[in-house]
Structure 1
Amino acid sequence: MALVPVYSETLLPSVWKWLLAPAGGAAAGIITVVLGVPVAVVVGVVVTIALVAVLVRTAPVTVVTDDELRAGRAHLPREFVGSVEILEGSALEQAMGPGLDARAHLQFSSSAPAAVRVDLRDPQDPTPYWLLSTRHAHELARALVADADQAAHSEQTG
């Protein structure tokens, strides 16, 4: 049971979202300036650091290992990975809008230009598919397909 990632991606926020941290720190500093300039500066810096920590901590993480696909806290054993489809542009808009199944597992980031749809082969799981935002759709799909191919090969030879 190897836990070495075949693929790993953390979807850090876009530049515009990063600008929220110093803006929030500045706002907090302005609000507390009535308590004194030193207090306002300290509050502004602390709030900025806290907001950066929140942005990093809440960034979606996708990891593919030999044993599983992890999307945030959700885990999917590799034997349940079905077909894999890359979604970009209008196909992604359709999949995230009118084509979305309410039972699907989503890991979405508006800063990612693409997503990968992973169909599930678990008859006991009511989740039909996972839809994972990514900046590297082809690499993620390749890791998932290679992982599924290795699993099928090891089941046939084992």
Structure 2
Amino acid sequence: MEGMYDERLTVPRSWWLLPVATGLSLALIMLRLSELGALAGLVVGFVAAAAGISSYGSARIRVVQGSLVAGQARIPVGALGEALPLDRAEALAWRSVKADPRAFMLLRSYVPTALRVEVADPADPTPYVYLSTRSPQRLAEAIEAARGAGGDTGSGTDSGA
């Protein structure tokens, strides 16, 4: 069952006004040098800010080939324990006061809900995986389905760090 779940954590549309504001600000700063400098500031500011926002909003969460792929991490579903969907209040608590510094966290502040998945591998020091997601229940069901479909029983998280 390949491609059970796929979510891209895109930024809100309103954030795309930030590159415009950045470009205009840089253009006003560079206007003191020349009109050509202002034009260069507009273009450079817009492109740099747009690239940053695009990169930040390109994080993906997928359940494929018996693994949970979250950002740079690829975790076999066999190494995962209970998945707990979190509402807005619980998600805020788990990414702040309840957070464990050893946990793997894929955070996006503009996504109010999340999924917390226990790491069942005793050899892995990571206690849980926290994933900002717009569909925590669907993601939990996809992980459970991948586990039930004979997902990989390998262990450990590979967060790329």
Q: TM-score with structure 1 length normalisation?
A: 0.85
Confirm whether residue 88 of structure 1 aligns to residue 80 of structure 2: no
Match of 1:41 in 2: 39
Secondary structure class of the residue paired with 2:32: helix
How many percent identity over aligned positions? Answer: 30
Q: CA deviation at 1:16?
A: 4.1
Q: Does 1:18 align with 2:20?
A: no
Give the partner amino acid of 1:137. Answer: P
**Over 6 Å off, 4+ runs:** none
Distance of 1:20 and 1:139 partners within structure 2: 31
Counterpart position of 2:51: 53
- Letter of the aligned partner of 2:141 in structure 1? R
Local SS of the residue matching 1:151: coil
Where does 1:9-158 land on structure 2 (aligned, <5 Å)? 9-59=7-57, 60-151=59-150
Return the structure number with greater helix share: 1
**Higher relative contact order, structure no. (Cα contacts within 8 Å, ≥ 6 residues apart):** 2
Q: CA offset at residue 53 of structure 1?
A: 1.4
CA drift of 1:7 comes to 1.4
How far the C-alpha of 1:20 sits from its partner, in A, is 1.6
1:70 counterpart letter in structure 2? V
* RMSD of aligned Cα (Å): 2.0
Greater Cα shift, 95-104 or 71-80: 95-104
Amino acid at match of 2:105: L
Any gaps of 5 or more consecutive residues in structure 1? none
Letter of the structure 1 residue corresponding to residue 71 of structure 2: G
TM-score normalised to the size of structure 2?
0.84
